[in-house]
Amino acid sequence: MVADRPIPVGGLLHESLRVDTSLPVVPGAGVGVARWEYEESRENPDLARIRDRYGLWIGGREEEPLSQKWFSSIEPATEDHLATVAEAGQADVDRAVAAARAAAPQWAGSSPVDRAKLLFRLARLIQECSRELAVLDTRDGGKPIREARDVDLPLVAAHFFYYAGWADKLEYAFPGARPEPLGVAGQVIPWNFPLLMAAWKVAPALATGNTVVLKPAETTPLSALRLAELADQAGLPPGVLNVVPGPGATGAQLVGHRGVDKVAFTGSTEVGKQIRRRLAGAGKYLTLELGGKGAHIVFEDAPLDQATEGVVNGIFFNQGQVCCAGSRLLVQESIAPEFVDRLRRRLNTLRVGDPLDKNTDIGAINSATQLQKITELVESGRQEGAVMHQPPCELPERGYWFPPTLFTEVSQSHRIAQEEIFGPVLSILTFRTPEEAVERANNTPYGLASGVWTTKGSRILWMADRLSSGVVWANTYNKFDPASPFGGMKESGFGREGGRHGLAAYLKGVG
Amino acid sequence: MGGRIGVQKTHKLFIGGNFPRSESGRTFPFVSRDGAVVVQAAQASRKDLRMAVRAARRALPGWKERSGYNRGQILYRIAEMIEDRAETFVAQLALAGSESTARREVADTIDLLIWYAGWCDKYVQVIGNMNPVAGPYFNISTPEPVGVVGVIAPFEPALLGLVGGLGPVMASGNTAVAVASPDQPMAAVAFAECLATADVPGGVINILTGYPAELAPWLAGHMDVNALDLSGASLDMTGSLEEASAHNLKRTGRWAGPERNLYRMAAFTEIKTVWHPKGR
């Protein structure tokens, strides 16, 4: 349970691994390096209970794909084949949407208390299978087990608990409005938080009486399929939740489907815009949670120990494969050299490697494609004249890895300051005044999240008013909670997920 | 030739608090139902529209930083101005329809504005809230204006439809560029004159008369416009406008009528969530 204690995102790279500068410095290993040997503490991979083959999940049971196509899900830490998964083609999407359509009237008309109870039960089942699911996401996606276990899974269960409780209270959520579901929701989710993104999408949709066809990411389909089984076990009626794995083409078939009333997409801004164009004039409801280029602003009066941890957490959490990652550091000029020094020292203590090892801070990059994208952007940073810093670290021979990376001497026009890298790469810029910090922070088409570190309360509120982002973390970063709305401004998308506001994305006339 | 010769008004655009003619020099005619009255209204061009967006962008920081109380007073003042000129509005609207309908439309317009005026210092309390997160954090979500909103006003009711679009946009702290109904441009011009005498800062509302079919695509494609109210766009236009709006992911909405609607205000706001740790 996550109740009564902070969601331990900040626990990433935290207490146990704090830099102790009193430790002997290893000569020749960079600035102030302190290195320890760690006893390997490896989670049992078999806990994931991965099957050889996974079909589609349609109408309350596993189905063979009419497409007759199957694809392989790879373990990014080893590049080994993990499981064979059915690929949904047009006919399969048709079937899944038809199943969701057929289930919609009954689900929408069902007793809200019953809907709540089923979702509560699903939340409990997720808690009970939490360890299995954490290992599953770690193996399928490459994220450190410590994050899957301490962040993803507690939040997944909490999301279902939170929205379960709304199911029979919708008339209290929006004053003056009568809550009414939209119908069938087609949902397309990314690979960075496979099960958590499924929970963000599915929980509010079901609580509000919609039925769902979910398209998990091609590289991480397993936990969504397992979620469907658990939903079935919890007693959700057949057809209420359907899962159709596949590549981008499957997602396109789903969002463009005539039988879908509502599209919810999390992914890149580029694809988000394609979806927007595709749905133009279709009269469908749409919410988009897209890319970001989060600015992490550190003032000279900030608590520097905490700010260092916050900045590190902000960019290296989940290998930086986070839409709200604090990928641009804006540090006040007066403390820039010292702060960069602290970051470089801290980088040396990060452990990159086996995601199943509980000591690991930075796991595997999700796919070869993503690794290539990171590599390409980092190369552009070097070519455009920014200075790269990487700690000495040994990367495993197989698998997809990228070391934690800092760039200094970054200018606003560099690609690494403008484009979303979606990897463990931090671009460092400086500023002099609060006005300049705001100006620089807002100088991107994105507007998802930003961070502010200062001890001056009035400045926090002044900054928070002016930062164009849907989330502002002040003296903290990367905190998530089912009660807290999340989503972007500008080209980071529209609509919110989480909180009371997250319900609006699935009800008529209140968004 | 007996009696006095009246002085006729030139019907112009409303941009940045001024009343310019279209830079294009174009006008289009309004002809009353009985054919007795003919008026030339300014026919706005793409360039006029861009000037209007610029004015709206420039006016945004000042308008959104005003207190809700102050914005509410200004909206109320607009209602006062319309009430004061109610007979003029009725007479103008009646040129294209019945007098009783016109009278009702003017009354509804005033009442609608009062409704939104009252929301200015309250909607944040109703649309926003604290979030009880499971940890020692202060966490609050509040609505902020989305920015510059393009409003394609419905053809009719010309005045009520225009105000039904602009009321929620203004009340929530946005600035706007509106394309008024080409069927009754006189009402839009008279409304602009009310704005100009109601302490609405220049540029907060900009009103263009002309043809929506010509102007709306430029508005939808403009990179400095953040949202669109497509209530007045024809159904066959909506697809291409939404497509054009994808370039910078404008928020778009469409409402069937000018009814009082809190969620029409919410549609032109962005929820911002701020976290801060609690501690000694």
Q: Which residue, B207, B149, B208, is CA-closest to B175? A: B149
Whether chain A has a CB inside 8 Å of the CB on B233: the answer is no
pLDDT at B2: 73
d(CA B107, CA A268): 48
pLDDT at A361: 96
B275 → closest Cβ in A2, A476, A489: A476
Question: Pick the catalytic residue: A323, A324, A420, A497?
Answer: A323
Q: Which residue has the tokens 């641009």?
A: A328
d(CA A145, CA A25): 29
- CA distances (Å), B240 to each of A229, A311, B130, in order? 41, 43, 39
Mean pLDDT along residues B247-259: 96
Sign of CA dihedral A235, A289, A485, A144: positive
Q: At A241, is the secondary structure helix, strand, or coil?
A: strand
pLDDT at B100: 98
List CB contacts (< 8 A) between B61 and chain A. Answer: none
Whether chain A has a CB inside 8 Å of the CB on B35: the answer is no
d(CA A201, CA A151): 17
Task: Let me know: does B151 contact B165? Beta carbons within 8 Å.
Answer: yes
Share of chain B above pLDDT 70, in %: 100
List CB contacts (< 8 A) between A279 and chain B. Answer: 242
d(CA B180, CA B49): 12
Q: Which residue has the tokens 């007098």?
A: B99
Count of C-beta atoms within a 10 Å radius of residue A94: 16
d(CA A249, CA A450): 33
Whether residues B273 and A485 touch (CB distance < 8 A) is answered with: yes
Task: Let me know: does A183 contact A262? Beta carbons within 8 Å.
Answer: yes
The count of C-alpha atoms lying within 13 angstroms of the C-alpha of A425, restricted to the half-sphere facing its C-beta, is: 30
User: A395 is written with which tokens?
Assistant: 């990367």
Q: Which residue has the tokens 């929006």?
A: A174
d(CA A32, CA A341): 9
User: B272 is written with which tokens?
Assistant: 């911002």
**ipTM (interface pTM):** 0.95
Mean pLDDT along residues B157-167: 98
List CB contacts (< 8 A) between A470 and chain B. Answer: 270-273
Q: A466 phi and psi, to 5 degrees?
A: -100, -15
Whether residues B134 and A273 touch (CB distance < 8 A) is answered with: no
Q: Residue B235's closest chain A neighbor by CA?
A: A281
d(CA A327, CA A333): 18
Task: Let me know: does B144 contact B92? Beta carbons within 8 Å.
Answer: no
User: Which parts of chain A sit beneath pLDDT 50?
Assistant: 1-32
Which uninterrupted H or E stretch holds A205?
helix A194-207
Substitution target from A1, A288, A444, A484 for chain B, most B beta carbons within 10 A:
A484
d(CA A417, CA A328): 7
Mean pLDDT along residues B87-106: 96
User: A318 is written with which tokens?
Assistant: 């989940």
Task: Let me know: does B116 contact B168? Beta carbons within 8 Å.
Answer: yes
pLDDT at A53: 98
Give the amino acid at A209.
G
d(CA A86, CA A84): 7
Task: Let me know: does A187 contact A224? Beta carbons within 8 Å.
Answer: no
Question: How confident is the model over A25-67, as pLDDT tens digits?
Answer: 344 344 445 566 778 899 999 999 999 999 999 999 999 999 9
